[in-house]
Chain A
Amino acid sequence: MKKIFKYITLSFFGISVISCSDETLLDLSPINNISLSDSYSSASLIESSVNGMYNAAAIGQYNSTNPNAGRGYIWGAAFVQQGDNRGEDVVNTATFYQLTYTATYDPTTANNVYYWIDGYRLINRANLVIEGVTTAAEAGIITQAVADDYIGQAKFLRAITHFELLNFFARPYNFSAGASHPGVPYREVGIDTQAEIDSEIVLGRNTVAEVYEKVLQDLDDAESLITNTSLTKASANAAIAFKTRVYLHMRDWDGVIAEGNKLTGEYTLEDSPNGPFNDSYGNSESIFSLTQAATMNPGVNAALASQYNRRRLVAISPIIWRDPSWLADDLRREDNSTETEVGTGMVFTAGGAKFTLKYKDGVNYTDASPVIRYAEVLLNMAEAQARRAAADLGASLSLLNQVRNRSLADPATQAYVAGDFANAGELVGAILKERRIEFLMEGRRWSDIHRLQGDDLQPINGIPQKVANGTPAAELYTLGTPYDGPYGVPAVPYADFKFVWPIPQVEINANPTLADQQNPGW
C-alpha cells in the first residue's frame, strides 16, 4: 500500500517534468519586433519601411536609447534650431543651444555630434530602402513603378541630408579651386551586415565637388522617378526646388534659374506671410515639409513649437529686429499676443523680448517642420538673376518684390523700385536681407553665412558677433536705429577652425579612415 502511494506520487512528479520540453521553452521569437529579414516581404511592409525612413528624418534618435524618442535631428526640428543658432539673427536665452550659439562646441558636444549621427542614420535607412525595394520589385512583390517612386524618395532624402551635413562639417564650395577640399563621406550602400561595414569603413571623405555631383545626381534621379505629390513626402517638385538651393551654393546661377523656372505655376505664394504657418499642411507655398503628429513629434525638448514658442528658448535678435530694411509696419512683425494669451500673429513678446510665432501649436507640437518653400525658390532665383553673367536686375527685382510685397503695409509706397539699388551688389544685399527677414527662425541663416564667405558682392567674414546669451532686455528691441551693441558673443573669423563643426570624436575613435581626416584645428 505504502509503496503504491510512493509510486503514484513519483509518477505524478515525473509527468510534470516531461511535460516541459526544451524546445517550447527556448524557441522564442520576438513579439515586439518584425525581423529585419522580413521587412520588405510584402507591399504593406515595404510601405511601412519607407515611412520608417521618414521617421528617421522627422524624429531621429539623439542620445536616447529609445529609437523613437529623438529630438528632431535632422529634418524634424534640429536643422532649424542649429541653423538659426549658428547665426546672429536669434538670441539663445537658456543653456539649450548655448554651445552652438556661442561657438563653444567641440567634437563631443551633443548638438554637432547628433547632427552627424542622426544624419547618417537617416542616410542608411534611405540606402536600405533603395536596396530592399529594388529586391522586392525583382521578386515581384511590388511593381517597378511603385518601386521607382520609393527609390526616388529615398534618393531625395539621401541627397539633401548629405548636402546639409556638408554645410556644417565642411568649408563652402568656393573654399578651394574645383571644390577639391574634403567634404563628407557619401554613403550609397545600405549597411546591415558585417561585410558591408568592412567595405564601407574604408571610404573616407569625398571632396566637396564629389558630394555636390552626387547630390545633384540623386536629385535628378528623384525628379525623374518620384510620382508622389504630397507635401510631407518627397515629390519631384521638391527635388527641383532643392536643386535651386544646391546650385545657389555652387554659385551655378544659371542652374538655379533653370530649375526654378520648372516650378513656375506649380506653387503660388500665400497672400499673407503667415499663410504657410497658419496652415502648415495645406497651403499653396510649402514644397517639402515633414509631418509632426500630436503622437509622434520631436517632443518637449525639441519640437519647434515647444522650443521657440512654448518654452521660448530662442528669441529673435535685436540685430535683425532693428534692421532698417525690416519696416516697422511689416506684417511679419504682427504681434497680437498678450502677456497671458498667445495670439495669432507672427511674433509675440515675453519679458520684453521678441519671439517667433511661426510655430503655432505649443500644446501638441503638430506644426509641420518646413524644409523648403516657394518663397525660397523665388529668392534663390532673384539672387541668381542679379549675379549671373548676363545679370537681369529687372527680373531679379521683380522676384524679390514678389516675396516682399505681400508683407508690406502699403506695397504701393514701400515696394522696392529699380532706383533703390545702384548696382547688382546692392540688389543682392537687399535680397540677402530679405532672406534673413522672410526665413527668420526657419533655420536658413547658417546656410547663407556659410556660402557667402569670401563672396564677390556681399562677403561675410566668418560668423558675425552676436547679442549675449540670455533673454535680451526690452529696450534692446526699440525700433528706430540699427542695433550696434552691446554684443556678448564675439565673431568667429572665417579662418578660425571653429567656423566648421568638428567630425564627432566618437566617429574619429571608431573609424580609422576618418581618424586622419578631422577638420584642421580640432
Chain B
Amino acid sequence: MRTKTKVLLALLMAFVVHLSSAQEKMISGTVTDGSGLPLPGVNVVIKGTTQGTQTDFDGNYNLQAEVGQTLVFTYLGQKETQATVGAQNIINIQMEEDAQALEEVVVVGYGVQKRKEITGAIASVSGGDIQGLVTPSFESQLAGRAAGVQITTNNGILGEAPRIRIRGLGSISSGTYPLVVVDGVPIITGDIGGYASTNALNSINPNDIESFEILKDGAATAIYGSRAANGVILITTKKGKKGSTQVSYNVVTGFASPIKTFDLLNTAQFLETANEKRTNRGQAPWAIGNDYDTDWQSAVLNSNALQMDHNLSVNGGTDRTKYFMSLGFTDQDGVAVSNNMKRHSIRTNLEHDVFDWLTVGGNLAITRTELNGLNTGGNSLSGNIFNATRQLPNIPIYDPSNPTGFNLSADGSVVGQWDNTDPVGDNISNIGYVLVNNKFQSISNNTLASAFGEVKLLEGLTYRFQASANNTITNGFLYYSPIHGDGRGSNGRLQNNNQDYLRWNTQNIINYNTSIADAHNIGVTAVMEFQKDKFKSFFGTGTDLLDEFYNKNLVTGAYGTQTSGGSVTENGISSYVGRLSYNFKQRYFLQGSIRRDGISKLSEATRWNNFTGYSAGWNIANEEFFSGLNPAISLFKLRGSYSEVGNTDIGDYPYLGLTSASQYGTLNGIAFTQFGNDLLIWETSKKTDYGVDLGFMSDKLTISFDYYKNDIDGLILDVPVPQSLGVPDSRIKKNIGNMVNEGLEFAVNYTPFNTANFSWNVSANLTLDKNKITNLPEGQDIIGGTSTNTNIAPNLIIREGESINSIYGHRYWGVNPANGNPVYYKADGSLVQGNLDTQTYFVFNPSNPGDLSEASSLSAADDKFILGNSLPTYYGSVINRFTYKGFDFSFMFRYSGGNEVFNATRRDLVTQNFNNNSTEILGRWQSASNPGDGITPRLYASSNTFTNLTGHATTRFLEKGDFISLDNITLGYKLPSLVTDKLNVDMVRFFIQGQNLLTITDYKGLNPEMESSGVDINGTPRSKVLSIGLNVNL
C-alpha cells in the first residue's frame, strides 16, 4: 500500500515537473530559527502543488520553482512562513517561534495537559538531563532534580532501592513509597525477591525514558485516589517520531570506587590500644605479633569496579505508524566485592492509526536482571563492613598452610588468631573466604506489556481502552559454604526460591476537550480502572550438605535436611474516576476530580471510599490590563489546591483476626498471629498547596514558589497493647495517629545567554520541610520509630509534637578527667559517671571528679532525651549547563541538612572487644595528665555495652547531617558537522563525567546520606564513578 502510493506520487511529480520545466528556475537558501541557528528538516512546499523538499542538516534547501509561485516553510514549533519567488535565486528565511504550538504539554494522570493550564504541583524532568549517568537504576539520578523530591542512595550496594520521599515521609506504619506509573501503567515497585537485593525499578533501562513528571500536591495526585498519599512518579518512555528512521547508539564506561573508606588503626597503633584495653582491666595483653599490617577493607571493597552501559535504539514513523525499539545492556561491578549486576533489556513501542478515528498501539518491555549480592548485615558476623572493620590488622587474610588458602582457626569456626593470645572478638569469620565462596543471587525477568485502542468518537471526544500486565519472576539462589562463615553451623546451606508477582490493570478512559467561543475551555475525563495483584512464592532449602561441590543449585539428595515453603497473597482495587477542568481564556482555571476506590484489603463495610481534589489558578499575565507588562513579565500565575487522598500500602488483610501455620517440631500447628480490627479504614492525606509561577523576559527567567501542607489523618498505627496480654506482636492496627508535613519549595531557572556559540543555563531549587507528629494514641511514645531493624530501632522515638523518628537516647557530657569514666546527664540535669571498673554508675561532681562514693543510675526509661531530628529540614540543588560551540559542560551541586545522624558505625569502630578500631580511639583518656580528646573514655576490655552504651543512642556519636555534594560533572564534545558529514552520521558526541566526586561536610562517617531512619550502621560505602561515553546518531 505504502509503496504503491510512493510510486504513484513519484510518477505524478515527474509529470508535473515535465509539464512545467520551461518556466522554472532553481531557488536555494538557508532556513534558520529566531536565534539564527540553521533548521534542518524544514518542509518547503510550493503553495498549491505537491512539489517540495526539506532542508538538509545545515538548513539548506534547493528547489525548482516558477516566478510568482509562493514557497511555504513549515516546521514544528515555528510559525508558518511564506515567500514569493521573484527575481532572486536565493531565498533565506528566518522563522519565528510559534509560542502557541510550542506550548509544553505535561503528562498528568490519565492524560496530558498544557503546561500553562496546570494548577497542581508537578515537577518535570527530561530524560536527557540524566542521560549518561551511571547508576543501577534511574531513580537515584533524579536526586536534586526537582524541589520537594528527595532521593537518597544510602549505600553502595547495586540492587538496593534508593529511598524516595516526595514532600516528606508520608506514613508511620504504612507504605511511604510513591506510586510509579509507566506510560499509564502502575508498575510493581519495591524489592522483587531472590537473595540479592533486587529493586524492581532496576528493570527499567534509563535510556528509554523520555521524561518524568513527579506529581506532588493533592490536585495532581488526587486522580490516583487511594494510592496517592506518597506522591506519584509518571514515566513516559520514548516513542517513535514521524520522519526518517533514526538510529542512536550510546555507550558509557566507568570506574567506580568507594566514596571514602574507614580510617582504621595500623598494626603498631592497634597493638598499643588493644593491649591497653586489657592492662587497664588488669588482664594480660592479648594482641601479639607485628608480622602483618593488613588492610582488611581491601578484602571487601573494589577500588576500580568496571561499569558499562550500551544502548542502541531505532525510532521513526510514517503518517500512520510510529515505532521505537531499543536494546540495552548494562554490566556493573559494585564497590562491594561480590556485588555485580547485568541487565539486558528490550523495549518496543508501536502506534498505528488504523482509521482516522481509530488508533491502536502497544508497548512491550522485557528485562532480565542478574544480580549477585552478599551479606551486608550491619550486625552480621559475615556482614562485609561489620566484619572487615573488626578484623585485626596484625593477622593475614591468607594462609597458604590452610587447605582453603585462607587464614582460619584450626576448627574453621573463626578467622585464625595467628600470634594473638585470643581469637578475634565477636567470633567473626574470615570475610575474604566468605566473599569468595558464599553466593547470593537474584535473576529477575520483568515483562511489562500493554495494549490500547483509542477511538475518536466526536471532535474532542476520545475513548481509550488500555490493558496491561506487569509480571516479575525472580529466581534466587543462595549458597553458604559448609567450611567457614554463615554456613558452618549448619554444615552448608543451599537455597533456591522463586517469586512471581503479577499485576494486571485495565483502564477505560473517556476524554472530552472543547472550547466555547474561544474563551471557555473545558476538559472532562472519566476513568474506570481495575487492578489485581497476585504474589506467589516458594522456596527449597537444603542444609547439612554432602560436599561443598554442591554449590550451584539444589540437587536432589545432596543434603541431609531439607525444608521448603511458600506463600500466596492477592489484592484487588476497583476505581471510578472523574475529572473536570475549566479555564476562561487561560486566565482563570478551575479543576476538580473525584475518585471512588474499593480495595480488597479492607472489610466489606469499610472498603469503599471517595477521594476528592480541587484546584484553582489565575494567570494574571494573561489579563488584558497586564499586557503592558508582558514583555517583562511573561508569566504570573497563582495556584491553589486541596485534596484528600489515601494509602493502600497497608498489608493484605489487616482487618482480619488470623492464625498462621506454626509447627511444633514436626507436628502441624496453627496459632493466633494477627489481631483483627474490622473497623480499620484508610489513612487519609489532606494535601494543601499554594503556588506562584513567575516568568520574566519571555521566560528567560522563571521562578516557582510553593507552600505545601500534608495533614495525614487516621494514620494506621500499630497501637501498642501491653505485652503481658500476649496479643500477637503486642499491637493492634487502628486509625488513630495524625502527622503533618509542611514546607516551602523554591525553583528558579535562568538562561542568561543563549546564542549559537554560547549558552548558559542555571537552575536551582530549595525545599524547606518540617514534619510533626500531632497525635498519637493516648499520647504514648512509640519507641523504635518506624524501623524494624534491631540495630536502628532502639535509637528512635515517635513522640507527639516532635518530628517522626527523632533520635532518642542519653546525653553525653564527656570523659571524667580524673579517671577516664564516661559521664552522662540524668533527666534532672545532674551528672553521673559510669565507673568502668565496676560497671555501675556513681554521681559525678565536676569539682571532685574522682569521688566514687555516691551510687547512682542511668535509667533507660527516664534519663533519655530527644537528641535530634532525623529528617533533613532543607535540601536542594544548583545545576549549571554551558555550551560553547561543540562543547557542553554541566555540573550539579546538591545540598541537604538540618538533620542529625546517629553514627552507630563510629560507635562500633571504638569497640572495647578484641577488634580493630578507628583512629578515633587514639584520643582516649590515658591518665589525668594525658586525658585525650575528652570524648573517648579510658579503654577497658570487653566493656562494650557499658563503655559505649551499645544498646542506646548517645550524643557522643550524634552528628549533623549537613552536606554539599558535587553529584555530577560532565564535559562533552560534539564533532562539527564538517566531520560528521564526512562520516555520514548525524551526530557524534564524546563525554567524560564524574559522579559523587566531592562532598563537603563535617560528618565523621563515610557520608552523611548513609543513614536509614537517621542511623548510620555499617553500610557499604557509596560509590564515586568516573566515566567516559560516546553518543552517536545515525
C-alpha spacing A37/B670, complex, angstroms: 12
C-alpha spacing A49/B668, complex, angstroms: 9
Q: Mark out the residues of chain A between 505 and 522 whose CB falls within 8 Å of any chain B CB in the assembled complex.
A: 505-511, 514, 521-522
Residue of A nearest to B793 (CB): A63
Residues 278-305 of chain A, each 1 if its beta carbon lies under 8 Å from chain B, else 0: 0000000000000111111000100000
Residue of B nearest to A26 (CB): B600
B659 and A34 within 8 A (CB): yes
C-alpha spacing A185/B671, complex, angstroms: 23
> What is the CB-to-nearest-CB distance from B324 to chain A, in angstroms, rounded to a whole number?
25
> What is the CB-to-nearest-CB distance from A343 to chain B, in angstroms, rounded to a whole number?
13
A39 and B670 within 8 A (CB): yes
A35 and B426 within 8 A (CB): no
B662 and A55 within 8 A (CB): yes
A510 and B572 within 8 A (CB): no
B568 and A32 within 8 A (CB): yes
Residues 159-179 of chain A, each 1 if its beta carbon lies under 8 Å from chain B, else 0: 000000000000000000000
Residue of B nearest to A485 (CB): B282
Residues of chain B with a CB closer than 8 A to A95's CB? 426, 913, 944-945, 950
Residues of chain B with a CB closer than 8 A to A24's CB? 572
Residues 496-508 of chain A, each 1 if its beta carbon lies under 8 Å from chain B, else 0: 0000000011111
B357 and A6 within 8 A (CB): yes
B726 and A125 within 8 A (CB): yes
Partner of B563, one of A53, A295, A362: A295
Question: Chain A CB within 10 Å — which of B358, B669, B945 has the most?
Answer: B669
Partner of B664, one of A34, A102, A296, A522: A296
Residue of B nearest to A31 (CB): B568
Residue of B nearest to A92 (CB): B942
Partner of B669, one of A5, A48, A116: A48
Residues of chain A with a CB closer than 8 A to B668's CB? 48, 51
Residues of chain B with a CB closer than 8 A to A351's CB? 422-423
Is B991 among interface residues, defined by CB-CB distance under 8 A? Answer: no
A187 and B725 within 8 A (CB): yes
Residues of chain B with a CB closer than 8 A to A120's CB? 723-726
Q: Mark out the residues of chain A between 109 and 155 whose CB falls within 8 Å of any chain B CB in the assembled complex.
A: 109-110, 116-117, 120-125, 127-128
B659 and A52 within 8 A (CB): yes
B669 and A510 within 8 A (CB): no
Partner of A295, one of B506, B561, B673, B729: B561
Residue of A nearest to B356 (CB): A2
C-alpha spacing A294/B560, complex, angstroms: 10
Q: Mark out the residues of chain B between 521 and 579 whose CB falls within 8 Å of any chain A CB in the assembled complex.
A: 528, 530, 532, 543-544, 560-561, 563, 567-574
C-alpha spacing A122/B604, complex, angstroms: 32
> What is the CB-to-nearest-CB distance from B551 to chain A, in angstroms, rounded to a whole number?
18
Is A317 among interface residues, defined by CB-CB distance under 8 A? Answer: no
B724 and A507 within 8 A (CB): yes
Partner of B781, one of A108, A509, A514: A509
Partner of A108, one of B355, B568, B720, B860: B860
A506 and B720 within 8 A (CB): yes
Is A461 among interface residues, defined by CB-CB distance under 8 A? Answer: no
Is A459 among interface residues, defined by CB-CB distance under 8 A? Answer: no
A94 and B725 within 8 A (CB): no
Residues of chain B with a CB closer than 8 A to A350's CB? 411
B658 and A30 within 8 A (CB): yes
Is A390 among interface residues, defined by CB-CB distance under 8 A? Answer: no
C-alpha spacing A221/B506, complex, angstroms: 61
Q: Assuming A26-B598, A28-B572, A510-B723, is B465 touching A13 (CB within 8 A)?
A: yes
Residues of chain B with a CB closer than 8 A to A54's CB? 664, 667, 669
> What is the CB-to-nearest-CB distance from A112 to chain B, in angstroms, rounded to a whole number?
11
> What is the CB-to-nearest-CB distance from B466 to chain A, in angstroms, rounded to a whole number?
10
Q: Assuming A102-B945, A468-B942, is B724 touching A67 (CB within 8 A)?
A: no
Residues of chain A with a CB closer than 8 A to B652's CB? 30
Partner of B861, one of A63, A124, A470, A508: A508
A510 and B672 within 8 A (CB): no
Q: Assuming A25-B572, A28-B572, is B600 touching A294 (CB within 8 A)?
A: no
> What is the CB-to-nearest-CB distance from B985 to chain A, in angstroms, rounded to a whole number?
43
A506 and B730 within 8 A (CB): yes
Is A340 among interface residues, defined by CB-CB distance under 8 A? Answer: yes
Residue of A nearest to B725 (CB): A191
> What is the CB-to-nearest-CB distance from B693 to chain A, in angstroms, rounded to a whole number?
38
Q: Assuming A2-B355, A56-B671, A468-B281, is B410 touching A505 (CB within 8 A)?
A: no
A36 and B658 within 8 A (CB): yes
Is B951 among interface residues, defined by CB-CB distance under 8 A? Answer: yes
Query: How many positions in chain B have a CB within 8 Å of any CB in the partner chain?
Result: 107
Residues of chain A with a CB closer than 8 A to B859's CB? 106, 522
B427 and A311 within 8 A (CB): yes
Is B20 among interface residues, defined by CB-CB distance under 8 A? Answer: no
A36 and B657 within 8 A (CB): yes
Is A363 among interface residues, defined by CB-CB distance under 8 A? Answer: yes
> What is the CB-to-nearest-CB distance from B458 to chain A, in angstroms, rounded to a whole number?
11
Residues of chain B with a CB closer than 8 A to A98's CB? 942, 944-945
Residues of chain B with a CB closer than 8 A to A123's CB? 726
Residues 889-914 of chain B, each 1 if its beta carbon lies under 8 Å from chain A, else 0: 00000000000000000000000011
> What is the CB-to-nearest-CB distance from A76 to chain B, in angstroms, rounded to a whole number?
10
Is B722 among interface residues, defined by CB-CB distance under 8 A? Answer: yes
B283 and A339 within 8 A (CB): no
Is A45 among interface residues, defined by CB-CB distance under 8 A? Answer: yes
A102 and B455 within 8 A (CB): no
Residues of chain A with a CB closer than 8 A to B781's CB? 509
> What is the CB-to-nearest-CB distance from A12 to chain B, in angstroms, rounded to a whole number?
8
C-alpha spacing A36/B411, complex, angstroms: 48
B942 and A364 within 8 A (CB): no
A296 and B600 within 8 A (CB): no
A34 and B600 within 8 A (CB): no
Residues of chain A with a CB closer than 8 A to B599's CB? 26
Residues 709-752 of chain B, each 1 if its beta carbon lies under 8 Å from chain A, else 0: 00000000000111111111110100000000000000000000
Q: Mark out the residues of chain A between 38 and 61 whose CB falls within 8 Å of any chain B CB in the assembled complex.
A: 39, 45, 48-56, 58-59, 61
Is B584 among interface residues, defined by CB-CB distance under 8 A? Answer: no
Is A65 among interface residues, defined by CB-CB distance under 8 A? Answer: yes
Residues of chain B with a CB closer than 8 A to A63's CB? 790
C-alpha spacing A470/B657, complex, angstroms: 46
Question: Chain B CB within 10 Å — which of A54, A123, A313, A340 has the most?
Answer: A54
Is B5 among interface residues, defined by CB-CB distance under 8 A? Answer: no
C-alpha spacing A293/B674, complex, angstroms: 25
Residues 90-103 of chain A, each 1 if its beta carbon lies under 8 Å from chain B, else 0: 00001100110011
Is A469 among interface residues, defined by CB-CB distance under 8 A? Answer: yes
B727 and A124 within 8 A (CB): yes
B607 and A339 within 8 A (CB): no
A187 and B724 within 8 A (CB): yes
Q: Mark out the residues of chain B between 68 and 116 whose CB falls within 8 Å of any chain A CB in the assembled complex.
A: none
C-alpha spacing A34/B604, complex, angstroms: 19
Residues of chain A with a CB closer than 8 A to B984's CB? none
Is A481 among interface residues, defined by CB-CB distance under 8 A? Answer: no
Q: Assuming A16-B467, A67-B728, A507-B723, is B570 touching A192 (CB within 8 A)?
A: no
Interface residues of B (CB under 8 A from A): 281-284, 355, 357-358, 410-411, 413, 421-423, 425-427, 453, 455, 463, 465, 467, 488-491, 506, 508, 528, 530, 532, 543-544, 560-561, 563, 567-574, 598-600, 604, 607, 652-653, 656-677, 720-730, 732, 780-781, 783, 788, 790, 794, 838-840, 857, 859-861, 913-914, 941-942, 944-946, 950-952
13 A-B pairs with CB atoms under 8 Å apart are A13-B465, A25-B574, A32-B569, A51-B663, A51-B664, A55-B671, A67-B660, A95-B944, A95-B950, A120-B723, A124-B672, A363-B561, A364-B561
* Extra inter-chain contacts (5) besides given A94-B425, A339-B410, CB under 8 Å: A29-B653, A51-B668, A187-B724, A300-B490, A363-B544
Interface residues of A (CB under 8 A from B): 2, 5-6, 9-10, 13, 16-17, 20, 22, 24-37, 39, 45, 48-56, 58-59, 61, 63, 65, 67-68, 94-95, 98-99, 102-104, 106-110, 116-117, 120-125, 127-128, 184-185, 187, 191-192, 194, 197, 200-201, 232, 291-296, 300, 306, 310-313, 339-340, 350-351, 362-364, 468-471, 473, 486, 488-490, 504-511, 514, 521-522
